[in-house]
């Protein structure tokens, strides 16, 4: 497959929503260095485009991503020069799976079908939410082959599901189905087979309808608390200092809408339904 087609980006079908698709179905969307770079570039382009508000990350065919392309890895030797995507962490640089070292600056929703395993699991964790088809499988399948988690799996997974559940998955490598993933907080929605992408798009459309600055500020504060804060007080201070800047820009206008009758009794009527 031509390198230009390894990752597909659609920014026009759904205004404000970028659909980024891994496009190696013949390899179960396993990621080789060229695909990793394309994914990384696509995510940076999404961040930089002010017209794009939410990203949906998915895979073509019947699988989200089966991890790193082990056929490619098997061709390497201990003396092979490190690939561009195998450089040490340096802020937001390219990772082995592409955008794995990013905390993306705008919302990302993963639409997961089939397998999201090994590096594919790690890639799904880059997203804020995971919409999962009922037959989807997560797992650290690379446990069998001595391939470590180097794309945030040990960092993000335990932040999302808790240390005990994360270690169960990390140590055993066992498959985790959609319903178990939902119960542990790894999946946010479970949908019938073939509907993950549409459900992810529906959620993305709802997010676009909300005041953008406020939503992204709260999102950033949550990530700061999870990964960067040195203490409870530090997290609380960051939340307040970031949030108070939004009050004059969006909160006053929102309060005025409420005072005129919008959103009473918890109604989301003016927004699309989740």
Ranges under pLDDT 70 in the chain: 1-4, 73-82, 249-274
Sheet with 7-10, edge to edge strand ranges = 7-10, 17-22, 54-59, 108-112, 129-133, 189-191
Fold classification of 3-208 (topology level): 2-enoyl-CoA Hydratase; Chain A, domain 1 (3.90.226)
In this structure, is the dihedral angle defined by the CA atoms of residues 36, 75, 63 and 9, taken in order, positive or negative? positive
Sheet with 137-139, edge to edge strand ranges = 115-117, 137-139, 176-177
Residue with structure tokens 């962490």?
A: 89
Q: CA geometry: angle at 84 spanning 83 and 86, to 5°?
A: 65
Q: Do the Cβ atoms of 65 and 59 come closer than 8 Å?
A: yes
Q: What pLDDT, on a 0 to 100 scale, did the predictor assign at position 25?
A: 95
Q: What pLDDT, on a 0 to 100 scale, did the predictor assign at position 274?
A: 47
Q: What pLDDT, on a 0 to 100 scale, did the predictor assign at position 266?
A: 61
Q: How far is CA 73 from CA 61, 77, 80, 86, in A?
A: 23, 9, 11, 11
Q: Model pTM?
A: 0.88
- Number of C-beta neighbours around residue 92 at 10 A: 15
Task: Convert the pLDDT of each residue in 170-181 to its tens digit.
Answer: 999 999 999 999
Domain ranges of the chain: 3-208, 210-266
Residue with structure tokens 């970028």?
A: 18
Give the C-alpha separation, 99 to 105, whole Å: 12
Q: Do the Cβ atoms of 239 and 221 come closer than 8 Å?
A: yes
**233-251 burial: b if 16+ Cβ within 10 Å, else e:** eebeebbeeeeeebeeebe
- Number of C-beta neighbours around residue 24 at 10 A: 23
Q: What pLDDT, on a 0 to 100 scale, did the predictor assign at position 110?
A: 99
């Amino acid at each position: 497959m031509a390198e230009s087609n390894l990752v597909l980006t659609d920014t026009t079908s759904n205004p404000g929503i970028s659909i980024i698709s891994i496009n190696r179905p013949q390899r179960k969307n396993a990621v080789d260095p060229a695909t990793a770079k394309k994914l990384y570039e696509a995510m940076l382009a999404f961040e930089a485009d002010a017209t794009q508000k939410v990203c949906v990350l998915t895979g073509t065919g019947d699988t989200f991503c089966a991890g790193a392309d082990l056929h490619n890895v098997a061709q390497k030797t201990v003396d092979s020069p490190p690939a561009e995507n195998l450089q040490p962490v340096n802020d937001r640089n390219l990772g082995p799976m592409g955008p794995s070292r990013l905390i993306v600056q705008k919302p990302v929703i993963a639409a997961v079908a089939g397998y999201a395993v090994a590096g594919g699991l790690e890639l799904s964790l880059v997203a804020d939410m995971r919409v999962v088809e009922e037959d989807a499988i997560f797992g650290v399948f690379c446990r069998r082959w001595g391939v470590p988690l180097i794309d945030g799996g040990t960092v993000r997974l335990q932040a999302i599901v808790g240390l005990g559940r994360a270690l169960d998955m990390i140590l055993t490598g066992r498959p985790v189905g959609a319903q178990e993933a939902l119960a542990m907080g790894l999946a946010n929605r479970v949908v019938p087979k073939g509907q993950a992408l549409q459900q992810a798009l529906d959620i993305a459309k709802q997010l676009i309808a909300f005041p953008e600055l406020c939503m992204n500020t709260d999102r950033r504060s949550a990530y700061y608390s999870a990964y960067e804060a040195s203490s409870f007080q530090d997290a609380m201070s960051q939340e307040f200092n970031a949030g108070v800047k939004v009050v004059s820009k969006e909160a006053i206008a929102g309060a005025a809408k409420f005072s005129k009758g919008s959103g009473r009794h918890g109604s989301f009527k003016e927004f699309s339904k989740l």
